[in-house]
Amino acid sequence: MANDLEFVGAKGMKVAFIGSECYPFIKTGGLGDVMYALPRALLRQGCEVRVILPCYRCIPEKYRERMTYVGSFGMNLTSDGRSFYVGIMELELDGVTYDFIDNRDFFDWGNPYTGLWEDIPKYCYFSKASLAALNFLEWIPDVIHCHDWQAALVPVYLRTLFDVTPVGSARSVLTIHNLRFQGICSIEHLKYWTGLPDFLFNYPVFKVNDHEANMFKGGLAYADRITTVSSTYAGEIQTDFYGEGLNSHLWYHRAKLIGIVNGIDIDIWNSRTDKLLPVPYGEENVLKAKRENKKALQTRLGLTVDENKLVIGLISRLTDQKGLDLIDAVFTQMVDENVQVVILGTGDPRYENAFRYYENTFKGQVCAYIKYDESLAHQIYAGSDALLVPSLFEPCGLTQLIAMRYGTVPIVRETGGLKDTVEPYNEYTGEGNGFTFDQYRADLLLDAVRRAERVYFEERSRWDAIVTRDMEKDVSWEHSADLYLKLYGELKG
Ligand code: ADP
Ligand code: GLC
C-alpha cells in the first residue's frame, strides 16, 4: 500500500476539511469524532491538513483563548449583495491547523444547530467563507473534503463563483455521514442566501420540486467524488428505504460514490491509558478489570453492585434513527434479576421520558442518564458487558467500534456500518464479534439479547473469547485513511 500511495502522489498532499463540528471543540455525534481523527490519521501518512470550522460561541473557553487572529475581510453573500464580516481565528493542535470562521451574527449561539431557518443562512455563509478564507490564507489545497449538508455547498461554490480564483484548482470530495439531514428550504430562500446564479435553480441540481431546493442534493451533483462511511450504507442509500428521497440522485451519481468505513482514534479510545477509567486495562487483564470497572459504574450510577449481572449499555443520540422504539417495545422483558441496563443520551423527549420511567420502575437495575457526558461514556464503554445498537439505519456507527476496543460485546442490527464492522457470533464455531439481528423487529432484538445472555451466563469461556477477540480487532483509522489517500491521489491525477 505504501508504494501505491507514493505512486499516486499522496505524500505531501494538501487537504482541507470543511465541516460543522469537530472534537474537542464541538461535538454532537460521530461527525465530530471523524473530523478530529481522520485529519490526524492523514497527517501521520504525510499529508498537510487544515480543518475549517465555524467559530461557535459554545467552543470551550480553554480553546478560544488559544486561538490567534489571522485576518478578516468583507464577503458578499446574498443575492442582493449584502456584505458580511469573515474573521479567521487559528489554532494548532498536534500538527493539525484549525481555522475558525468568525462571525457573531451566525455563530453566537449556545448550540451549533438552532433550527433550519437559521441554519441554512449560517451554513451558506460558512461554505462560501471557507473557500474565501483559503484564498485569503493563500493555502490552496489539492483536495477539499467536505462533510454532510452543512458543507455541501462548497463543491457548488468551488465550480461556480470560485472556479477562476486560486482555490478553484482544488478537487472536492463530499462525505455523507447522515443522509437524513439535507438542508431543504424554499428555492427563493436558498437563492437569496447563496447568491448563486439563477440558472442553477432552473435545473434539477438543487430542486426538490417547483418550490423547494436541497443543499445536499446540489453538493452531491457538483462534488468530484462522493463517499459515505461504510460500503453497506453506500449501497443502501441508493434504495427507496434508506435513500431519504435522494436514492435516484445517488444512483445517477453512483460512478463517483464509494463507501469507506470509519475508524476511531485509538489514542483517545485506549483502555490501557484512559485516565477516565477507574481501572485501566489491556487484553491480558481485561476480564478481571472489566469486573472492577463494572462495580465502579454500578456504584456511580446507584445500581445494585454485583459483578455477576450482565450490564447492557446504550450510548446514543435519542432519535428515531437509533432503534429506540424497538428497545422501548421489549424493555420490560429485557430487564430481569440478571440484567441491568445503563442509558446515556439526550434527544427526543419521548425517549428521554420513556427511559426515565424505566429507571423509576426498575430501581437499582436501570439507570437513565439523560445528559451528554464524555467521561461517563468512557466508563460505560469499560464497565458494561454488552452495548446495544439496534439502529433503523446507521451510516457507520462509532459506538460499536469503541465498545469492541474496550472489550464490550456489541448487540447490533445488521445495517450500514454495523453490518460491516460486527461479524455475527456463530454458535457452532464460536467465532464472531457480537450478536446481530437483521429485520427491524423488536422480537428479533429481544432474541439477540437473549442469545447474548445465554452465552454470557452458560458459556462464559466463549463469551470471554469474544471479549478478547473484540479488543484485538483493528478498529483504527489506518486502513481507511489509506483508502481516502488513494481517492485523493486519483483526483489529483
Ligand atoms: P451518531 O453520529 O449518529 O450520533 P456515532 O455512533 O457515529 O453516532 O457516534 C456517536 C458518538 O457520540 C460516539 O463518540 C459516542 O460515544 C458519542 N455520544 C453519543 N451520545 C453521547 C452522550 N450522551 N454522552 C457522551 N457521548 C455521547
Ligand atoms: C453520522 C452517522 C453515524 C456515523 C457518523 C460519523 O452521525 O449517524 O452512523 O458513524 O456520522 O460518520
Q: pLDDT tens digit string along 46-102?
A: 999 999 999 999 999 999 999 999 999 999 999 999 999 999 999 999 999 999 999
- Say if 432 falls within a structural domain: yes
What CATH number did the domain enclosing 106 receive? 3.40.50.2000
Q: Are residues 104 and 240 in the same domain?
A: yes
Three-class DSSP category at 237:
coil
Q: How many percent of the chain have pLDDT more than 70?
A: 98
378-411 pLDDT per residue, tens:
999 999 999 999 999 999 999 999 999 999 999 9
Do both 351 and 323 map to the same domain?
A: yes
| E strand segments, 296-338 | 310-318
User: Does residue 444 belong to any structural domain of this protein?
Assistant: yes
Residue 30 falls within a domain, yes or no? yes
Q: Is the pLDDT of residue 13 over 80?
A: yes
Q: How many angstroms does the Cα of residue 314 sit away from the middle of ligand 1?
A: 10
Predicted confidence at residue 1, as pLDDT, reads: 44
158/207 same-domain check: yes
300 and 258, same domain (yes or no) = no
What is the pTM assigned to this prediction? 0.96
Residue 10 banded pLDDT, cuts 50, 70, 90: low
Q: Do 378 and 277 contact (CB within 8 A), yes or no?
A: yes
> Is the bond preceding residue 24 a cis peptide, omega within 30 degrees?
yes
51, 129, 270 from 145: Cα distances, Å:
9, 15, 27
**Residue 9 pLDDT:** 53
Question: Do 349 and 409 belong together in one domain?
Answer: yes
Q: Is the CB of 346 under 6 A from ligand 1?
A: yes
- The number of the ligand 2 atom at minimal distance from the alpha carbon of 391 is 9
Question: Would you state the cell numbers that stand for residue 56, as one nine-digit string?
Answer: 461557535
Tell me if 67 CB under 6 Å of ligand 1.
no
* Distance from Cα 319 to the centre of ligand 2, integer Å: 13
Whether residues 95 and 236 fall in one domain: yes
With a 6 A CB cut-off, is 34 part of the ligand 2 pocket? yes
Q: Is 69 contained in some domain?
A: yes
Q: Whose CA is nearest to atom 20 of ligand 1?
A: 316
Length reported for the chain: 493
Select from 148, 176, 315 the residue to mutate for testing ligand 1; criterion: most ligand atoms less than 8 Å from CB.
Answer: 315
pLDDT > 90? residue 5: no
Sorting pLDDT into bands at 50, 70 and 90, what band is 110? confident
Ligand nearest to the CA of 229: 2
Does the pLDDT of residue 11 top 90, yes or no?
no
Number of domains making up the chain: 2
Atom of ligand 1 nearest to the CA of 34: 7
414-453: per-residue pLDDT in tens? 999 999 999 999 999 999 999 999 999 999 999 999 999 9
- Predicted pLDDT of residue 204: 87
Amino acid at 214: N
**How many helices, marked H, and strands, marked E, lie in the chain?**
19, 17
Residue 228, ligand 2, Cβ within 6 A: no
Q: How confident is the model at residue 7 (pLDDT cuts 50, 70, 90)?
A: very low
pLDDT of residue 493: 77
CA of 143 to the centre of ligand 2 (A): 22
Looking at the fold, whether 324 and 186 belong to one and the same domain comes out as no
Work out whether the CA dihedral 88, 26, 45, 151 comes out positive or negative. negative
121 lines ligand 1 (CB under 6 A): no
**How high does pLDDT run on average in the chain?**
96
Is the same domain home to 206 and 293? no
CA of 381 to the centre of ligand 1 (A): 12
Cα angle value 35/39/42 (rounded, 5°): 150
Q: Which of 194-203, 232-241, 359-368 has the lowest mean pLDDT?
A: 194-203
Nearest residue CA, atom 12 of ligand 2?
Answer: 177
Q: Are residues 359 and 324 in the same domain?
A: yes
Tell me the pLDDT tens digit for each residue of 263-310: 999 999 999 999 999 999 999 999 999 999 999 999 999 999 999 999
Distance, CA of 242 to CA of 107 (rounded, Å): 32
Claim to verify: residue 486 and residue 458 sit in the same structural domain: no
Residue 205 and residue 340 in one domain: no
Distance between Cα 30 and ligand 1 center (Å)? 6
Measure 216 CA to ligand 1 centroid, in angstroms.
23
How confident is the model over 215-225, as a mean pLDDT? 98
Tell whether 450 and 488 lie within a shared domain. Answer: no
**pLDDT of 153-200, one tens digit each?**
999 999 999 999 999 999 999 999 999 999 999 999 999 999 999 999
Structural domain boundaries, residue 365:
283-473
- Is residue 292 a part of any domain in this protein? yes
| Closest ligand to the CA of 264 | 1
Task: Establish if 78 belongs to a structural domain.
Answer: yes
> 445 lies in a domain?
yes
Q: Is 193 inside a domain boundary? A: yes
Distance (Å) from CA 262 to ligand 2 centroid: 9
